[in-house]
Amino acid sequence: MKFLVSILVTLSLAPLCSAVPQTEDALVLNVTVATKKGTVIRDLTLDDFKITVDDKSQKILSLTNREVPASVGILIDTSGSQDVGKSKEALELQQQFKQALERFFKQSNPDNEYFAIAFNSKAQLVQDWTSNYQSILDKFDSLEYRKATAMYDGLRSGIEMMNRSRYSKHVLIVVSDGADNNSTASFKNVRDALKASDVVLYGVGLKNMVEDINGPAVTVGEFEAQRLMKELATSSGGRVLYMENTEGPKAFNEVFELIALELRTQYQLQISPNPASGKRQWHKLKVAISKTGPVELVVRTRQGYYR
């Protein structure tokens, strides 16, 4: 039985300390550094990083590993493919997911603001910006799962909501198979919107649906949907996480705890790229660790920007 309640979380983690002081025309990058096993690395200094724009080395103006603000939007997939029914097993899965999301809220910055959007054949605002995440949890039990899936419309709406956010750090978290069959927005529309923004996308999916295109549980359509979700997440500096649907609440909790921890422990690097030439162009960006060590590190941030 599929339990694929799609969630889009758009985060700008509120600071316990002040954010990076931003200079005119500066670009602030949210950067995650971790081992391949997922252990977050927190003791790096400015000299440990190397940044290139269009393959040209860039001077790093500042670095901080202090927690910085977050604005959080949650998108809930209420399409018919997510209809888990009213069986005891299905209701338990819904409650496990709801409890995991509550743990995520509690382990995130207490000053965060939130909104929620539900989408099936169209995207609808469930909860406007609020600092009270309980108001979002209270609405979960009344959601109805039916009709088609307009996930790309939901993602586009979530990105647009950031225009009214309090904070400047934005993240999307989507828990879904990634399949879309009813959006007016296309994959390209959403990809371009992500590239033009500073939004980071996290995807969460059930592992047995996407592990292997040749496996009996995976159709070509499902694999393609997950491939597209991974492309969106990677281009924005995010990632896709998978869990077994047989693992119960432990799987839900671990995934959301990992995301909450990662968002609270990112570095912020500030650079001052060359001023705009008059014609808006895409600039390829790469952040790397300059020093070597016994453990290989994974660095994630946006792959570029328009200027």
Residue 9 has pLDDT above 80, yes or no: no
Per-residue pLDDT band for 72 (boundaries 50, 70, 90) equals confident
Annotate 15-51 with b (16+ C-beta within 10 A) or e (fewer).
beeebbeeeeeebbbbbbbbeeeeeebeebeeebbeb
Q: What percent of the chain has pLDDT over 70?
A: 79
Task: Select, from the ranges 155-164, 175-184, 227-236, 252-261, the one with the highest average predicted confidence (pLDDT).
Answer: 155-164
What pLDDT, on a 0 to 100 scale, did the predictor assign at position 14?
36
Domain ranges of the chain: 27-65+277-306, 71-264
pLDDT digits (tens, 9 = 90+) for 11-48: 443 333 334 455 557 899 999 999 988 889 999 999 99
Taking the whole predicted model, whether its pTM rises above 0.85 is answered as: no
Fold of 71-264: Rossmann fold (3.40.50)
